[in-house]
Structure 1
Amino acid sequence: MTRIFTAPRLTTFFSVLALFASPTSLYASDSSTDTEQLEAQPVHGMAMHGAPRYPEGFSHFDYVNPEAPKGGALKMAVVANGFDTFNPFVIRGVAAAGISNYLYDTLLEYSADEPFSMYGLIAESLETPEDRSYVVFNLRESARFQDGEPIEADDVKFSFEILTTQGHPFYRNYYADVSKVTIENPHRIRFDFQETSNRELPLILGQMPIFPAHYWENREFGKNGLTPPVGSGAYRIGSFEAGRTIEYERQDDYWAKDLGVRKGRLNFDRVRYDYYTDDTVALEAFKAGSFDFRVETSAKNWATAYTGEKFDNGTIITEAIEHHRPTGMQGFVFNTRKKVFSDPLVREALTYAFDFEWTNKNLFYGQYDRTNSYFENSELAATGLPTGRELEILEGYKDKLDQDIFTKAFEAPSTDGKQGLRGNLRTAMELLRSAGYEVRDGKMVHTETGKQLAFEILLFQKTFERVVLPFKNNLARLGIDMSVRLVDSNQYVQRVREFDYDMITQGIGQSDSPGNEQREYWHSSTVDANGSRNYAGVNDPVVDELVSLVIQAPNRDELVQRTRALDRVLLHGHYVVPHWHLAKDRVAYWSHLKHPEKTPKNGTDLDDWWAEP
């Protein structure tokens, strides 16, 4: 599961790429039989595995304050070079911050204190049989678009079709197993699936943003530009200045405000984003009161910049709020589509040139832990050697896998100990020799072609150069030439969409219930699909099969074991140089902002905050 656009409102280092979001399917209009209808009964919510936590008619989520006052404003900053569209669902352009989160509602709403459970929002209930071979959504008759028109089954079908034919390519993969869409009446729509073992589909269809078919009837979906569209959510677009600022206004007559999934949430009357091209300027603007809330991604800033009278007297509050969500993988990502990184031995060798321990001590004030899994900070992470059910899964592919998977536990290279970096560079040298390289005149060259091992790393934030340059210097000691290219955020997004890079610094987020989105990250079908999130160009039939196994997991225990097997194979593929992680949200905010006492396992979500009257 990936939360397409309902993620916590946290501005992370990699949020400029969070706009990626896209599926082709067959449609028909024949109805189901009476026998099929009897197989499933309407339910208010559903969990991926087991039963959902909240009962029918629940008043609010446990982690919100149901008495939170409405009103006030939330001002935030975005460090990027502006925006040029109000449509985040297509591959063209750079969408304004907050569009998908505030402007559109979904059929179901996500619960932040469960692995993956969804509850009715636009849909009052859903019906799906035990094998989850189809899902029926029963829409609330009270559901309305922002222009007052009712939300009906025609709009749901339109939304699905427009996303999977004209939307970002992500949706074609995400909803690829939908085989048929049937409107049974204005408030009832059915989706049939061609792969009955894809248990996640009823839930991820519930994540789909709903667009008004009548609004788009005479408009081109991908070319709306900066014309404010009609949405289905609690907020509409208010004032904006192209590329510089945008403000959302909460609707007082929002139809869903008293539902259990909305009570105590979406409390600000106005939400505003201002754009800054420099993070240092943005930090000073925050301390001067130009905006209210900031997620700090720099360990140095967190250790040194949040000082002074306003912090001492409580005018500005800093908190490191613990969370229990998977932190995913951040790292230097190799583009294996490029010949220079086609050999896993070369990729593995380069991981030994990154000195995390030095970086953490000298740049990050010792705040981080090393990442050793694509599903770090969760039970999904592969650890030690494979055993039990995970080993059984991997042994099915033993003749196709690197045997190190069965004999060596993966652990990112460390410079702790007597040998330190020097020992790591010796290991790197041995791996490069095995890959057909040697040192000539101080340069690492291929023994046959004489061509130096050289590549470029693409960045969009200058502050990250302090991490990259020591890595570059260590590679130079091996005779490897790494150049650093700094571009603006818009150019960066475009080049990443087209896989026009050798190496990038990227975060690959994960949920506690991985599923269909894993195709987008690792499946061979996405290698050449511009805009996909297969940043590394993973193209491995074993990975393809493991991704399918994860999607088809029949229960939680099996999901955990299959995900660990996938994690282990990816780790031994050496597709990234792993970075670091932190199981806390470092946030700073002005004291008029308040948040609930209880933080859900997924961490900070500004949708649950409010302004003190």
Structure 2
Amino acid sequence: MRSEFFRIVTSTLAGITLLLSVNSAVAESAHGIAMYGDPALPPDYTSLPYAYADAPQGGRVVFGNTGGFDTLNPFVQKGTAPWQLRFWGYESLMGRSWDEPFSLYGLLAETIETPEDRSWVEFTLRPEARFSDGSPVTVEDVIWSYETLGTVGHLRYRGFWSKVDTITQTGPRKVRINFNTEDRELALLAGLRPILKKSQWAGKNFADSGPNEAPIGTGAYVVNTSDPGRYVSLARNPDYWGKDLPFRRGTQNFDQMRIEFFGDATVLFEAFKVGELTAVREYNAGKWDNNYNFPSVQRGDVVKSEIPHQRPSGITGLAMNTRKPLFADWRVRQALIHAFNFEYINGTVTGGTQPRITSYYSNSALGMRPGPAEGAVRSLLEPYASDLLPGALEGYELPVSDGTERNRRNLRTATKLLNDSGWTVQDGVLQNAQGDPFEFSVLLRQGDREMQTVVEIYARALHRLGIKVSTDTVDNAQYVARQNEYDFDMTHFRRDLSLSPGNEQYLYWGREGVTQPGSRNLMGIDSPVVEALIPEMLNATSADHFISAVRALDRVLTTGRYVIPIWQFDKGRIAHAKELRFPDTLPIYGDRPQFMPTVWWYDPN
């Protein structure tokens, strides 16, 4: 039915090669920008390729979240906001096409200009750009947004700000940003900062905004009602300024969108079954096959849609906090990986239908290759041989069990690794030379029953090694706060990765995150090799160099043994009311937050 998706049989590698093989344009105004070369869509494009340009508008949809929220500001470090808000109500100078590895097109800005070395970038605002209250977007708003987010906003915005030398107004609708760092990606990242209204925050503390005031943005949707911890309702602005832009044609089609909050995923699913929710994403293939046969599905009122993609697997699993002495030794981490009986756990939890993540960039052309490092990848790694862990150069594979619960062979290997690192069993308890027992807790979000099951099975295996494991299940606010402060031993971890990795890698694995609260480096990775390989990616000028740098980074991260990987989400699985439709042409990134609900529509017939 949606065979158009498969028109790109080798899109991942071919797309990256195309983007990297063309020289950058000289400094002249353009409608869009790609990481390398030219964006795929011409200046006169009429819509994004994965949007149905003539989609009808109207209808109401209801989605569900687990946990709660205590702020409506998704751009600050303090508090927990509904994650959807920053995608639904706010815009940036440029917008991203999810059918290309990394290309941007004018949104609030009508043009972008940057020189060949990308040492600066200049944007020209659209004269018609407006905030949701009808006021015009000014260069002053842009500069304030960059400065505020870069200094008191969420950490995801601060890394970019540290690389800005100056930001100045160069014309009535022009703003120029000069960079202090050689980094080709910065010109694109500059186009992706959300633009907020400066005057709203006069005399107020932006960083301490709470649950009663949402920032004013330029997006099509605005919060109209909310009840902290219970629901948030958004309505499409009938005067939305950008509804006629080619970038917006066929998108943002619903009149109303509402988010209901539930204590756990089981209650959420029951609400969906009785029609209280319009759509849910299912991440467990076993549940998808076995639990979606309730009456609404049998009648055809609920439709199951599968959305393929070509993005990397990312990394999902149990992250070990290497800031804790217990996990500092790589042999201990490898022992815990051997003790994790993936084949048995996967069979129990998902029916064994979802493949395992084998590296951070597996399932893509950017992933590490089997066997020893060769060619350019080896050349990038060899100067740091003394800092590499076993397997980075020689080759590394995750252990495989026989699928039975006992997992004897891997547990024997785990025992040897623990003994080699100074841990031995005394009276049934694994202890070090000082007599300290090997015990830790796993931090989980309340309602995450799937991971609770995983940890329960895992704990039984560890008990056979003399290790005591407890589960620390907390509400959403405590979960976020404790992860931000790295107050955990082990925790559930998920990091999506793209076909165009760049500066965000510093936030994910950079050594600043070892001590800086709120980074995405939950594992506490502190590696000089990682610090050296990220710039290699950012400043690559050829396809081979870029791909080799990412594959080398993938080797270092995977052989760091920081995460016990579980299954990958090999496709998107969305169950939805039959009235919800989406285009036949799918983006290479598949189902991301910008896919549902952005390009979906409501068809009452």
Q: 1:350 to 1:592 in 2, by over 3 A?
A: same
For residue 460 of structure 2, give the secondary structure of its aligned residue in structure 1.
helix
Q: Distance in 2 between matches of 1:497 and 1:164?
A: 18
Deviation track 1:381-427 (CA, whole Å, cap 9, x = no partner) reads: 102121111111111222332353222x2211110389971110111
Contact 2:324 2:489 in 1 (8 A): yes
Q: CA separation in 2, counterparts of 1:88 and 1:417?
A: 43
User: For 2:359, what is the secondary structure of its paired residue?
Assistant: coil
- The letter for the 2-side match of 1:387 is E
The Cα of 1:491 is off from its aligned counterpart by 0.8
User: SS of the counterpart of 2:246?
Assistant: coil
* 1:339 and 2:339 are equivalent in the alignment: no
| 2: CA distance, partners of 1:418 / 1:159 | 55
2:344 maps to 358
Q: What per-residue deviation string (whole Å, max 9, x for no partner) do you get for residues 322-355 of structure 1?
A: 1112220001100000011111111111100111
**How many Å apart are 1:50 and its aligned residue?**
2.4
Other structure's SS at 1:46 match: strand
**Separation in 2, partners of 1:186, 1:477:** 70
Amino acid across the alignment from 1:610: W
Structure 1 gap segments, 5+ residues each: 1-37
Deviations 1:247-266 (A, max 9, x none): 11111221111111100000
Q: 1:549: which partner in 2?
A: 536
Residues of 2 paired with 1:381 and 1:97: CA distance? 28
Aligned to 2:380: 393
Q: Is the 8 A contact 1:550 1:563 kept in 2?
A: yes
Q: 1:275 aligns with which of 253, 256, 261?
A: 261
Q: How far did 1:236 drift?
A: 1.1
In the alignment, does 2:313 pair up with 1:327?
yes
The Cα shift of 1:533 comes to: 0.4
Report the equivalent of 1:558: 545
Give the alignment of 1:124-203 within 5 angstroms: 124-196=110-182, 198-203=183-188
Which residue does 1:600 correspond to in 2? 587
Counterpart residue type for residue 496 of structure 1: Q
The corresponding residue for 1:539 is 526
**Cα deviations across residues 77-125 of structure 1 (Å, max 9, x unaligned)?**
1111x21111111111111342211221111001011000000000111
Does the CA-based 8 Å contact 2:286-2:352 persist in structure 1? Answer: no
- CA shift in 2, pair 1:523/1:153, >3 Å: same
Give the partner amino acid of 2:186. L
Q: Label 1:487 to 1:255 Cα distance change in 2 as closer, same or farther (>3 A).
A: same
The corresponding residue for 1:9 is: none
The counterpart of 2:561, out of the listed 574, 587, 590, is: 574
Whether the 8 Å CA contact 1:372–1:410 is kept in 2: the answer is no
Contact 1:212/1:230 (<8 A) preserved: yes
**Where does 1:97-496 land on structure 2 (aligned, <5 Å)?**
97-196=83-182, 198-225=183-210, 226-384=212-370, 385-407=372-394, 409-416=395-402, 421-446=407-432, 448-460=433-445, 461-496=448-483
Deviation at 1:519, TM superposition (A): 0.4
> What residue identity is the alignment partner of 1:450?
G
1:444 and 1:453 in contact (8 A); partners too: yes
Range 167-176 or range 314-323, more displaced: 167-176
Name the counterpart of 1:12: none
Give, in whole Å, the separation in 2 of the partners of 1:60 and 1:610.
Answer: 16
For the aligned residues, what is the CA RMSD? Answer: 1.6
Shift of residue 366 of structure 1? 1.7
Provide the C-alpha distance between the structure 2 equivalents of 1:235 and 1:572, rounded to a whole number of angstroms. 44
- Residue 209 to residue 138, structure 1, CA distance change in 2 (3 Å): same
- Partner residue of 1:504 out of 469, 472, 491: 491
Name the counterpart of 2:64.
77
TM-score, normalisation: structure 2: 0.92
Shift of the 175–380 alpha-carbon distance from structure 1 to 2, 3 Å rule, reads farther
Q: Which amino acid aligns with 2:540?
A: A
The answer to whether the 8 Å contact 2:233/2:256 transfers is: yes
> What SS does the corresponding residue of 2:306 show, helix, strand or coil?
strand
SS of equivalent to 1:370: coil
Is 1:91 matched with 2:77?
yes
- Kindly tell me: are residues 468 and 419 of structure 1, through their superposed partners in 2, closer, same or farther at Cα, counting changes over 3 Å? closer
CA distance in 1 between counterparts of 2:191 and 2:52 reads: 25
Change (3 A) 1:577 1:418: closer
* C-alpha contact (below 8 Å) 1:49/1:556 kept by paired residues: no
2:466 counterpart letter in structure 1: G
> SS of the counterpart of 1:476?
helix
SS of the residue corresponding to residue 480 of structure 2 reads: helix
Mapped to 1, the partners of 2:80 and 2:349 lie a distance apart of: 31
Inter-CA distance 402–282: structure 2 relative to 1 (3 Å threshold)? closer
Provide the C-alpha distance between the structure 2 equivalents of 1:211 and 1:491, rounded to a whole number of angstroms.
28
The number of equivalent residue pairs is 572
Structure 1 residues 417 and 97, CA, compared in 2 at 3 Å: closer, same or farther?
closer
Matches of 2:194 and 2:178, distance apart in 1: 19
Question: In 1, Cα distance between the equivalents of 2:368 and 2:405?
Answer: 27
Structure 2 vs 1, CA of residues 274 and 335 (structure 1 numbering), >3 Å: closer, same or farther? same
AA aligned to 2:354 is Y
